[in-house]
Amino acid sequence: MGCAHVREHLSLDLQDQEEEVTINCEIHGQTDPAILCSHLVQAGMGQAEIKGWVQAEFDPENREPGDLMAWCTDCDKVYEQDGGWHERNDSHFKVVCELCFLAIKKHQNEP
Ligand SMILES: [Zn+2]
Ligand SMILES: [Zn+2]
C-alpha cells in the first residue's frame, strides 16, 4: 500500500519550517518526526482503545523526514474509498515524535 503522495505533501510542510527537521517531544526530547492520524494520536498509549494500525511502506535504507506514517482502520476505509491521501482528506494527520509513534504502534499491536 503506497502513500507517496501524502508523504510528499506533509514532508514539504515540515521542511518549510526548518532545514533539519526534528520534533521537540515532551517525553523524548529532540527526535525525528513521524505522522499519525488524529485518532491514533488520541488513542495514545495510556488507554485500552484499539483503533487498528495501518502503516505506510517506507525504505529503511533510505529514510527521510516523515516517512513513518500510520493510520487507523477507520481511516483506511477513507483511504480505500478516495483512492489515497490528498489535500482534501489528509488534514487530520498530525506530526508526532518518532518514539511516540513506535510506542503507540506497539500498544496498538499488543493490547
Ligand atoms: Zn484514523
Ligand atoms: Zn515522544
Distance CA 28, CA 100 (A): 8
Q: What is the pLDDT of residues 39-54, one digit of tens each?
A: 999 988 766 578 899 9
**C-alpha cell belonging to residue 38:** 488524529
Sign of the dihedral through C-alpha 1, 98, 32, 71: positive
Q: How much is the pLDDT for 26?
A: 93
Q: What is the rounded average pLDDT for all residues in the chain?
A: 83
For residue range 7-40, list pLDDT tens digits in order. 555 554 554 554 567 889 999 999 999 999 999 9
For residue 41, how far is its CA from the centre of ligand 2 (angstroms)? 11
> Mind listing the pLDDT tens digit for each residue in 62-78?
888 779 999 999 999 99
* Contact assessment for residue 37 and residue 85, using Cβ atoms and an 8 Å cutoff: no
Residue 83 has pLDDT above 80, yes or no: yes
Ligand 2 geometric centre to CA of 6 (Å): 22
CA nearest to 34, candidates 46, 25, 43, 42 = 25
pTM comes to 0.77
The protein residues having their C-beta less than 5 angstroms from ligand 1 (an ion) are 37, 39, 71-72, 75
Q: Would you list the domain boundaries of the chain?
A: 4-108
CA of 37 to the centre of ligand 2 (A): 16
Euclidean distance between CA atoms 85 and 90, whole angstroms: 6
